[in-house]
């Protein structure tokens, strides 16, 4: 991974919400539209969030629910991605020859955890409730 590039991690809820969105779009507008929107979501996430995840605004919808660290990325006219930026500290594998008393190597891995994708016309409370029941 290049310096200052963030790793993208999709949560199980994000994956499920993307499946639900794609099924909704397929039913309403056809498989071609569903596929196109899904690909556009992936492209926007890769283009924008790997390089500059702080470009997304703090989500007012989630802030009102008491979730204050979550950001949102507007994908297009109707679709939003909710995510959080994290610095994950990973322990490097200790070499078998190293002493148990020697300090462990760590490195910071910056990541963007994708939490949810939704159509902006949906109720976020209802969607979160439904996804919670399905998980």
pLDDT digit string, tens, across residues 2-54: 557 899 999 999 999 999 899 889 998 999 999 999 999 999 999 999 999 99
User: Assign residue 116 a region: left if phi > 0, alpha if psi is -120 to 50, beta otherwise?
Assistant: beta
Identify the residue whose tokens are 């909704």.
24
**Count of CB atoms situated within 10 Å of the CB of 13:** 19
pLDDT at res. 62 = 77
Percent of the chain with pLDDT over 90: 49
Q: What are the extents of the domains in the chain?
A: 7-92+105-126
Condensed to tens digits (0 to 9), the pLDDT of residues 81-106 reads: 999 998 754 444 434 444 444 444 44
CATH 3.30.2310.20 fits 7-92+105-126, yes or no: yes
pTM for the full predicted model: 0.75
């Amino acid at each position: 991974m290049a310096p200052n590039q963030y790793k993208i991690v999709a949560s199980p809820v994000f994956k499920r919400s993307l499946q639900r969105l794609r099924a909704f779009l397929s039913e309403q507008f056809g498989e071609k539209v569903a596929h196109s929107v899904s690909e556009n979501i992936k492209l926007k996430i890769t283009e924008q969030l790997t390089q500059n995840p702080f470009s997304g605004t703090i989500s007012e919808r989630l802030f009102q629910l008491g979730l204050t660290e979550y950001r949102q990325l507007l994908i297009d006219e109707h679709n939003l991605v909710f995510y959080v930026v994290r610095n994950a500290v990973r322990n490097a594998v200790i070499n078998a020859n190293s002493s148990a008393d020697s300090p462990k190597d760590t490195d910071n891995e910056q990541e963007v955890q994708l939490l949810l994708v939704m159509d902006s016309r949906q109720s976020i409370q209802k969607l979160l409730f439904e996804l919670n029941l399905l998980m």
